[in-house]
Structure 1
Amino acid sequence: MKQNIIATFSIVAHDPETGEWGVAVQSKFLGVGSVVPWAKAGVGAIATQAFANPAYGPEGLQLLEGGLSAEEVVKRLTEQDSQKEDRQVGVVDAKGRAASFTGEQCYDWAGGKVGKHYAAQGNILVNEATVTEMGETFKQTEGPLADRLMAGIKAAQRAGGDSRGKQSAALLVVKEKAGYGELSDVAVDLRVDDHPDPIEELDRIYQLHQLYFGETKPEEVIPVDGKIQQEVLSHLNRLSYLTSEQVTEEEFYNAFTTYLHTENFEGREQERGKLDLKVLEYMRNQE
């Protein structure tokens, strides 16, 4: 068997309603997130794997940005590659058109499925159902693109997965100004480099990502008064942000602000007198 083959399954996709592009991937390979997933807001997404050519990522995005379709990009990337029969690549373009390529020398089971706004592919898999279920679950799942991509790779693992086992996983989603402070286009960029259950671990840190950086829902903003204020006060004392239950309103809110900033909840900070229920739920479970 060739060395450094990225035996993996991945899905690249676009959500036209949210304006997101992304990739989710799992592999029996150390640090798969450093090689396979590539994406650029407004342009498209790419997964390069098997006997992977990392250049397919930046070069493919450049071709997409130049106006080529996903199918044209796959053709351009592979036609002059002397080792294309060992490669596998999935592409989705700015319009959501998708294409997948599997070279004839990729190890079984290897192949891809293309559907509306997605391309799913894998190599050295237990079975074809791994890829089929990945795509079908993605199509049937609702919510943000990251949720749908995660659902896809979870279904792929349940259906069979990588025949060599599990080691790493990654999730990359881009959208214009969706990054921290609206200063980048990277909405989600999470990696599990080495873990016995990489997809489960990726999902765990993704849920943390959503807790810290997800948008506050209007229905989850509540006033800080009565029993809620007493509960928050109790938690602030328990967690050593205060040392007494008898404090002024100013001391209470100063301590609460310190707590929010210490725990990286700036994104869920509300105007004085209100709080995000997600923060209170976190406080309740904090030791």
Structure 2
Amino acid sequence: MTFSLVARCTETGMFGVAISSSSPAVAARCSYARAGVGAVASQNVTDPTLGPMALDLMERGLSAPEAVAVVQTRGRFIEYRQVLAVDRNGRTAIHSGPNALGIWAEARAENVAAGGNLLADRGVPQAIVEGFLASAGHLGDRLIAAMRAGLAAGGEAGPVHSAGLKIVDKVSWPVADLRCDWTDACPVEAVAAAWGIYKPQLDAYVQRALDPRAAPSYGVPGDE
């Protein structure tokens, strides 16, 4: 019911997750990222404990493959789960249990891993990886390009209704966490539209959190 990718920007060290599904609010249950550590997608009959588990393991120094190997031994009903991970060195790993739903597949390269279930075509994750590797610019732009490549390759077997984009950088909170929790239109394009609005303001929101005295004007009455 889901296709996604986790990725690392080699230039900035940012991590990101992009995801879409026929289920509602997929990003609320399946997307995890931690600045300086990595990014994880936990999907397919979702166990939301697996994302934080994998990030905790990578924060303690395990590589993405090592962390996913531990998740495979500690996770409950792991045969139903898909877990994608990328670490601070760009190493990637994927677990896809044999009970993943429908047509499922995975693909990965350095700095990017993609996977999905109930897919229209087994080539969707590979298209997502290739879309990411062929793209340039801000990590958010590249995540959107990769998801659009997955849609162009067939995406999910049925209509998708929710999507999300999460990016972490040097601070302890996500610098972008955009979601479309339900739509009968294309949720990936809804998130892409939100990203287009949010991207020019991203740095200003971070600066306002760190030191509002040095932040740009709010542009509201009474602001000086």
Task: Establish whether TM, by shorter chain, passes 0.5.
Answer: yes
SS at match of 2:219: helix
Residue of structure 1 in register with 2:140 after alignment: 146
- 1:211 Cα shift? 3.2
- 1:165 Cα shift? 1.5
- 1:81 Cα shift? 3.0
Residue of structure 2 in register with 1:261 after alignment: 219
Residue of structure 1 in register with 2:113 after alignment: 119
SS at match of 1:195: coil
TM-aligned CA distance change 1:213 to 1:81, over 3 Å: closer
Q: Cα deviations across residues 192-216 of structure 1 (Å, max 9, x unaligned)?
A: 000121011101111010233357x
Distance in 2 between the 1:66 and 1:211 partners? 34
**1:170-185 matched pairs, under 5 angstroms:** 170-177=164-171, 184-185=172-173
Give the total of aligned pairs: 211
| Equivalent pair of 1:28/1:167 in contact (CA under 8 Å) | yes
Distance in 1 between the 2:128 and 2:73 partners? 28
Distance in 1 between the 2:167 and 2:20 partners? 15
- 1:130 Cα shift? 1.3
Confirm or deny that 1:168 pairs with 2:168.
Answer: no
Distance in 2 between the 1:29 and 1:63 partners? 28
| Equivalent pair of 1:18/1:144 in contact (CA under 8 Å) | no
SS at match of 2:56: helix
Residue of structure 2 in register with 1:195 after alignment: 183
- 1:185 Cα shift? 4.1
**1:1-287 matched pairs, under 5 angstroms:** 7-177=1-171, 184-196=172-184, 197-213=186-202, 261-262=219-220
Distance in 2 between the 1:80 and 1:206 partners? 36
Distance in 1 between the 2:65 and 2:102 partners? 23
Question: Equivalent pairs: percent with the same residue?
Answer: 34
SS at match of 2:175: strand
Stretches (4+) displaced over 4 A: none
- 1:108 Cα shift? 2.6
Q: Cα deviations across residues 240-268 of structure 1 (Å, max 9, x unaligned)?
A: xxxxxxxxxxxxxxxxx98x5239xx9xx
Distance in 2 between the 1:81 and 1:46 partners? 14
- 1:82 Cα shift? 4.2
Please report the TM-score for the alignment, with normalisation by the length of structure 2.
0.89
Distance in 1 between the 2:122 and 2:93 partners? 17
| Equivalent pair of 2:105/2:123 in contact (CA under 8 Å) | no
- 1:21 Cα shift? 0.5
State the structure with bigger RCO (CA 8 A, min sep 6), 1 or 2.
Answer: 2
Q: Cα deviations across residues 144-203 of structure 1 (Å, max 9, x unaligned)?
A: 1111111001110111011131110000010003xxxxxx54221101000121011101
- 1:116 Cα shift? 1.3
